Structures are given as C-alpha cells and as structure tokens.
Amino acid sequence: MKLNIDSIRCVGCGLCENVCIKNHIKTKPSLHEVDNNECFECGHCMAICPTGTITLKIYENQPERVEKYDATNIPIETNDLLQLYKQRRSIRWFKNKLIDEKTFNTLFEAAYYSPSAQNIQDTEFVVITKELDEFIEFIYRIIKEDEDKFPRIKQLGEYLQDKTSYKHNPLLWEGKQLILGFSTDITSTIIAMTRLELLAYSMGLGGFYSFFIQKADVINHDKLMEFFPYIDSNKHMQCAFIIGYPRKKFKRTIPHKTIKITYK
Ligand SMILES: Cc1cc2nc3c(=O)[nH]c(=O)nc-3n(C[C@H](O)[C@H](O)[C@H](O)COP(=O)(O)O)c2cc1C
C-alpha cells in the first residue's frame, strides 16, 4: 500500500476519492486504499486533503517538501511571465563567471516540480563544467559522421585541430557550462529543461539549446553513453542546454512568424 492514512483527521469530504484517477481510494464506509496496484504516487489525494490526513509513504522522509499554499492566489502576474517569455533570447555570449552549485540547485527545483509521463520522474541531469573540453572532443568523434551535411560540424573539427582557427568554439560559442537531460521519455525531459531554462532567465542567467550536441545521441547512442557510465543506458540524452551569465544585453523583441493555430 502506498499511503499513510491518519483516519482520526479524516472529515469524510471525499475530495481525495474524486481527484484520484486510478480509483485507488474509497471513502465509504471510511477512508481506505484499494489494493489495485495502480497508484502511481502522483500525490493528488495528499495535495487536496483539507486536513492533512493522507501522506505518501515514499516521501515520508521529505516533510520539508510539503508546503501549504492558497491556489486562489496565483503568485505571478500573467503579463510579467509573458514579458519574461518575450524578452528571452538565445544567449551565446557569456561572462567568465561560472554558475555555482547552489544556483544550479535552485534551477533544478524547476525540474523537480515538472510533470512526467506516467509520473515516472526519470529525467536526470548532468552538469558539465570541468570535463567540457573532453566532452566536446568526444561528441565531435560521434557527430563528424554528419560533417558533410552540416558545415558547423566541419568547423568544429577545424577548431579542435587548431584553437586559433576560429574566434570561438563553433559549437559552444562562449559557453563554459552545459546541462544535459537524460530520460526514456523525450517530452518529459524537454518540459523539465524548458522550465529550468525559464527560471534561469528569471535569475539573470541565459543560454541556448544545442542541436549538434543532442545529435550525438541520434547518431550513436551506445557510443555516447560510454561517456556516462553512471547513467542507465536505456535513457537517451534528450536535450543539451548551454548556460551561463549573459555578457550582452538585448534591447528589443523581434517579430516571429505567425503561429498557425487551428480551432475546430
Ligand atoms: C532544439 C534547438 C536546438 C538549437 N540548436 C542550436 C545550436 O546548435 N546552436 C546555436 O547556436 N543555437 C541553437 N539553437 C538556438 C536557435 O538558433 C535560436 O532559438 C533561434 O536562432 C532563435 O533565436 P532566439 O532563441 O534568440 O529567439 C537551438 C534552439 C533549439 C530550440
């Protein structure tokens, strides 16, 4: 069974039963779990209970993660959030300052609270700082297979041969730190990474996604995972985000192609 139930506190309101999508809870004749093996520990029952009757056993050791809030009070203005989205630009020019672990930990809070398919929460991240040069060399050995299709890959090869041949690393520009997201479900990881990215912008950080780094997983996943022996190789590197402190400030939004939306 997955839940701790403090039946003395239960007021029999039935909210937990209503909100459960797995029919795992019944409140008649009194609150109990149904042994249907389907509960995926989403926590809706715990989150909606007015009296704190229900807690999830698996998170017993994380009481500090249980915060009460008032859902009628949305903590950010729509226009403020939209303005953050509008002001976002890919950042490739960075200061020399590195992001410290405490700041990364704040960023990963955004991922921690992200939704995931089937609630499996299997996205894991690697932050690459010290091993960056080694990693880029490794990536190049995989993606060079596509260098005839992508001039950027060829440029990277030339740069790695002779670091004076280009002003910047053609893949990283001025990037000095990378966040890589691994999982079995691409959508879940991209959701988590996008939230992390937007929190980063709210903290004065910035970055860009790298098509070419992620491509290494598409070209030769098994080889790529040799760099990450500590990650389950069934997981794929779903996205790569170069992150840092922006060195340049943009001044205006630019138009985009009109989004095609069909309402039916
Ligand atoms: C999936 C994805 C992959 C990207 N790959 C790269 C990349 O390899 N190198 C790069 O400099 N920018 C990359 N970008 C950034 C885009 O080039 C950028 O979003 C686009 O030029 C528009 O600029 P903006 O993000 O400032 O609006 C990528 C963006 C996305 C979403």
Q: What is the pLDDT of residue 36?
A: 87
Distance of CA 48 from the midpoint of ligand 1 (Å): 40
**Which tens digit of pLDDT belongs to each residue from 191-206?**
999 999 999 999 999 9
Q: Is 215 in the pocket of ligand 1 (CB under 6 A)?
A: no
Q: Whose CA is nearest to atom 30 of ligand 1?
A: 209
Q: Whose CA is nearest to atom 3 of ligand 1?
A: 211
**Which tens digit of pLDDT belongs to each residue from 213-263?**
999 999 999 999 999 999 999 999 999 999 999 999 999 999 999 999 999
Residue 147 to residue 151: CA distance in whole angstroms? 6
Q: Whose CA is nearest to atom 22 of ligand 1?
A: 90
Neighbours of 10 (CB within 10 A): 17
Is 235 in a helix, a strand, or coil? Answer: coil
**Which tens digit of pLDDT belongs to each residue from 53-97?**
999 999 999 999 999 999 999 999 999 999 999 999 999 999 999
Q: What is the pLDDT of residue 119?
A: 96
Distance of CA 223 from the midpoint of ligand 1 (Å): 25
Q: Is 238 in the pocket of ligand 1 (CB under 6 A)?
A: no
Q: Is 189 in the pocket of ligand 1 (CB under 6 A)?
A: no
Element (H or E) spanning 222, and its range?
helix 211-225
Q: Whose CA is nearest to atom 20 of ligand 1?
A: 90
Average confidence score pLDDT of the chain: 97
Share of the chain above pLDDT 90, in %: 98
User: Cβ-count burial of 149 within 10 angstroms (0-12 exposed, 13-18 middle, 19+ buried)?
Assistant: exposed
Which atom number of ligand 1 is nearest to the Cα of residue 92? 11
Residue 63 to residue 60: CA distance in whole angstroms? 6
CA proximity to 49, closest of 93, 100, 12: 12
CA separation, residue 63 to residues 56, 68, 71, 120 (Å): 10, 12, 20, 21
**Which tens digit of pLDDT belongs to each residue from 111-151?**
999 999 999 999 999 999 999 999 999 999 999 999 999 99
Domains of the chain: 3-65 (3.30.70.20), 78-244 (3.40.109.10)
Which atom number of ligand 1 is nearest to the Cα of residue 256? 27
Q: Is 90 in the pocket of ligand 1 (CB under 6 A)?
A: yes
pLDDT at 189 over 90: yes
Q: What is the pLDDT of residue 211?
A: 97
Q: Is 211 in the pocket of ligand 1 (CB under 6 A)?
A: yes
Determine the length of the chain: 264
**Which tens digit of pLDDT belongs to each residue from 2-57?**
999 999 999 999 999 999 999 999 999 999 999 988 999 999 999 999 999 999 99
Q: Whose CA is nearest to atom 23 of ligand 1?
A: 90
